[in-house]
Structure 1
Amino acid sequence: MINRRHIRVKVMQSVYAMLQSHNDDIIKEEKFVKHSVLKMFDLYVLNIQLLVAVQKLAAKKMALSKNKILATASDLNPNIKFINNKVIRTISESISLEGYVELNKLHNWEENDEYVKIIFEELLQSSLYEKYLADEEHSFKRDKNFVVDFFKEIIAPNEKLAEYYEDNMISWVDDIPFVNTWVVKTLSKQKAAGLFVLGSLYKDKDDEDFVSQLFRKTVLKQAEYELAIAEKTPNWESDRIAEIDMILIKMAITEFLNFPSIPTKVTINEYIEISKDYSTSKSSFFINGVLDKISKEFIANKKIVKIGRGLI
C-alpha cells in the first residue's frame, strides 16, 4: 500500500505541475493527483500479472517442443517445476486479480508479449532458474522464495521493462521503485493455504483523505505561507529559493496547521528526506532551518495544536 511519504511526493509533483502550467483549476488538478495515485495500483497489478504471463509462455514453449518432429528426450520429458510453481499458479487463479483487470480494462500482457519474452529469456539464462529446476525440494516455501528472487533479480531491474512502463505513464518513473518493493512484500506474505488477494492502495480512509487535503490546503494558502517563509528568510529573495524547496516548505506548513495527528518533528523530517531526492544538495539544510524557525514560532503563538502526548 502507498505510504505517507509517497503521497507527499505525489502532491509535491502535482503542486509543481500546477504552478508550471499556471493553471488555477484546483478541482481539475486535485483529480489529477488522485488519478496519479490510483494509476500506481495499475503498475502494481501489471507486475504481478507479468509473473503469470511468463509462466504461460514457458508452458506454451514446452508444448511446442514436445510436438517437434525431431524432439529430443529433454523436449519430451521437460522439467515442469516452473510451470507448476504453486505461488504463480495461485496468482493465476486469483478472482481478486481477474476482477481488477476486467473492471479497470487493464491491458493484457499477450498484447505486449515482447516484454514477456524478454523477461523469460533472461530467466532461462539465469543461475537462479538453473538452481531452482535442479533443486529437488518441492514445497510452497521453495516456490515462494524463487518467485520473490525472480521478481527482485530479473523483473524489477529490467531496463527495457522500466522504459515500457515510463512510456505508458510518465508518473510511473518515480513510482517504479516503490511499487517494486510493494510487490515483493505482497509475494512474501502469500500463504500456502490462502487465496491470492491484491493489497490495498491505502492503509485507511485517513490516508486517502490526506491526498486531497494536503494538496488543496497547500494550494489555497500559498500566498499566506509565502509571507511566513519570507519573514524567516530575510536574506533571500523568493526567486532565489528553489521552487521545489518552496513547495515542500508550504506543504510542511500545511501539515503543521491542519493535521493534528502528525507530529511536527515527523513532518520536518519527512520533507527533509524528500528534498534529498528531489531538490538541491543544500536544500535539506535550508528546509530544516526554515521549518525549525516557523514551527517554533507557531508553537509559541499556539497556531500549532497537536492531539496526543509527544506530538509537538
Structure 2
Amino acid sequence: MINRRHIRVKVMQSVYAMLQSHNDDIIREEKFLKHSILKMFDLYVLNLQLLVEVQKLSAKKIALSKKKILATEEELRPNTKFLNNRLINLIAESVSIEGYVELNNLRNWDEDSEYVKIILDELQKSDLYKKYLDNKEDSYKVDKIFVIDFFKEIVAPNEKLGEYYEDTMISWADDIPFVNTWVVKSLSKQKETSIFVLGNLYKDKDDEEFVSELFKKTVLKNAEYEKDITEKTPNWETDRIADIDMILIKMAMTEFLNFPSIPTRVTINEYIEVSKDYSTEKSSYFINGVLDKISKEFIQNKRIVKIGRGLL
C-alpha cells in the first residue's frame, strides 16, 4: 500500500505541475493526482503478473524442446523446479489478481511479450537460477527466497523493463522504486498456506482523504503561504528559492495548520527527507531552517493546534 511519504511526493509533483502550467482547474488536477496514484496499483500487479508470465514462457520452451526430433536427454527430462515454484503458483492461482487484471484490462504481457522473454533469458543465464535448480532441498522456504531474489536481482534492476514502464506511464518513473519495495514486502509476507490476495492501495480512509486535502489546501493557500515564507527569508529573493523547496515548505505549512494529528516535528522531518531526493544538495538544511522558524511562530501565535500530548 502507498505510504504517507510517497503520498507527499505525488502531491508535490501535482502542485509543481499545476503551478508551472499556470492552470487553475483544481478539480481536474486533483482527479489526475488520484488517477496517478491509482495507476501505481497497475504497476504493482504487472510486476507480480510478470513473474507468472516468465514461468509460463519457461514451460512453453520446455514443452517445445521435448518435441524436437533429436531432443537431448536434458531436454526430454528437464528440471521443472521453476515450473513448480510454490510462491509463483500461488500468485498464478490468485483470484484477486485475476479479477483485477480483467477489470482493468491489463494486457501488457500479451501485447508486449518481448519483455517477458528478456526477463526469462536473463534469469536462465544467471547463477541465481542455476543454484536454485541445483538445490536439492524442495521446500516453500527455498522457493520463496528464490522468487524474492529473482525479483530484486533481475526484474527490478532491468533497464529495458524500466524504460518500458516509464514509456507506458510517465508518472511511473518516480513510482518504480516504491512499487518494487512494495512487491518485495508482499512476497516476503506470503505464507504457503494462504491464498495470494491483493491488499488495499491506501492504508485507510484517512490516507485517501490526506491526498485531496493536502493538495487542495496547498494550492488554495499558495499566495498566502508565500508571504509567510518571504517574511522568514529576508535575505532571499523569492525567485532565488528553488521551486521544489517552496512547494515543500508550503505543503509542510498546510500540514501544520490543517492536520492536527500529525506532529509538527514529523512533518518537518518528512519534507526534509523528500527534499533530499527531489531538490538541491543544500535544500534539506534550508527547508529545516525555514520550517523551524515558521512552526515556532505558528505555535506562539496559536495558529498550530495539535491533538494529543507531545504532538508539537
Assess same fold via TM > 0.5: yes
| TM-superposed deviation, 1:110 | 2.3
Name the TM-score, length of structure 2 as normaliser.
0.99
Residue of structure 2 equivalent to 1:97 = 97
Does 2:40 align with 1:40?
Answer: yes
Residue of structure 2 equivalent to 1:6 = 6
Residue of structure 1 equivalent to 2:202 = 202
CA distance in 2, matches of 1:108, 1:303: 50
Is there any run of 5+ residues in structure 1 with no aligned partner, and where?
Answer: none
Higher mean alpha-carbon deviation, 45-54 vs 278-287, is at 278-287
| TM-superposed deviation, 1:41 | 0.5
CA distance in 1, matches of 2:145, 2:110: 26
| TM-superposed deviation, 1:181 | 0.4
Residue of structure 1 equivalent to 2:110 = 110
CA distance in 2, matches of 1:148, 1:41: 19
| TM-superposed deviation, 1:108 | 3.8
Does 2:141 align with 1:119?
Answer: no
Q: Please provide the CA RMSD for this pair.
A: 0.7
Q: Deviations over 1:233-254 (max 9, x none)?
A: 1111111111111000000000
CA distance in 1, matches of 2:297, 2:305: 13
**Does structure 2 retain, via aligned residues, the 8 Å contact 1:249–1:291?**
yes
Residue of structure 2 equivalent to 1:250 = 250
Q: Report the 3-state secondary structure (helix = DSSP H, G, I; strand = E; otherwise coil) of the residue aligned with 1:81.
A: coil
CA distance in 1, matches of 2:11, 2:244: 12
Q: Deviations over 1:54-74 (max 9, x none)?
A: 000000000000000111111
Is there any run of 5+ residues in structure 2 with no aligned partner, and where?
Answer: none
Residue of structure 2 equivalent to 1:188 = 188
Does 2:213 align with 1:213?
Answer: yes
Does 2:260 align with 1:260?
Answer: yes
CA distance in 2, matches of 1:285, 1:55: 48
Q: Deviations over 1:102-159 (max 9, x none)?
A: 1111124122111000000000000110010011111111111110000000000000
Q: Deviations over 1:167-188 (max 9, x none)?
A: 0011111110010000000001
Name the TM-score, length of structure 1 as normaliser.
0.99
Does 2:303 align with 1:298?
Answer: no
For 1:1-312, list aligned pairs within 5 A. 1-312=1-312
Q: Percent identity of the aligned residues?
A: 79
| TM-superposed deviation, 1:280 | 0.9
CA distance in 1, matches of 2:110, 2:136: 32
**Does structure 2 retain, via aligned residues, the 8 Å contact 1:62–1:75?**
yes
The residue type paired with residue 230 of structure 1 is T
